[in-house]
Structure 1
Amino acid sequence: MDEDERDVWEFAVELGLPDETGPGALDGEGIHPIALALEESAHRIEGMNRIPCYTSFGPVTALDEFAQRAWGDGYDAARVPVECRLAVYVTDDELDALVTAIVEDLGIAEDGYSTAADRKVTVGLRAIALDSPENGFYQHLVDQYRDRTSASS
């Protein structure tokens, strides 16, 4: 498979306001259970560590940046919705399979209710353009794929 057929994509599962304590809290320890489920979905598609992926948890970036600029030090981060993110470097077929796996693994109904999160969630998907300097962070996914394929050659 030609690597030119692969692209970087990011899933974002918005969970609403952060929990006061536990894994859904902004100061929670360890990986958030929904982020872990997203990562497990990626491993389920092509096998463990076959799809380069990166998970993260935190405030919805666009809303957090706005709040910081609008209210500066006076804004309360606990009033900004949080999300779990999964970035992947995949083919279109792998992306389609991953969408299906995420819907199944998170138990997402058409109305947005997730049995895994035990609440209504919003799931977004966006393409990441690696030629944009602000997206340089995602280049490590491509490098992981190249390292893995060159090691198996």
Structure 2
Amino acid sequence: MPRDMRPTKLYGGYLGPNPLKASFILSELDIFEYEVINPNSRLPAIHDPNTGITIWESGAILEYILDTYDKEHKLSFAPGTKEFYQARQWLYYQVTGQGPYYGQVVWFKRYHAERVDSAVQRYVNEIKRVSKVLDEWLERREWLFGDKMSYADLAFVP
């Protein structure tokens, strides 16, 4: 991290998969000086004092961090390229499919007041569908797209 940069505030920290996505990207870009704050675990959100921007939603946070700090495209791809749009496609697949379906299964299995088997089964089936698409795609390649690990790959890890 350049000497003149002030620490970014990451709200949400290490609790839950969505804040972990932002932690991974910050760490992979060697931005290790960030302050983790967790007001209610229903996050992530970040505040970057270097730009004055506060932003929430994990996918938007990743795009902001990459646009602002990944100028050499270590984890991203040059705008307008095929890889740029393919990586974004996989990010959206994660934030609108895999993430919410796993979250719903956890909710209905652990936290919902009464067991709702039809809800559990619905979301388990969606997890299987989403995972099958991902597994079949990765059978033929090492990374989701391009010849390197990207932010899209990291988004699926937590």
Return the structure number with greater strand share: 1
| Greater relative contact order (Cα < 8 A, sep 6+) | 1
TM-score by length of 2: 0.27
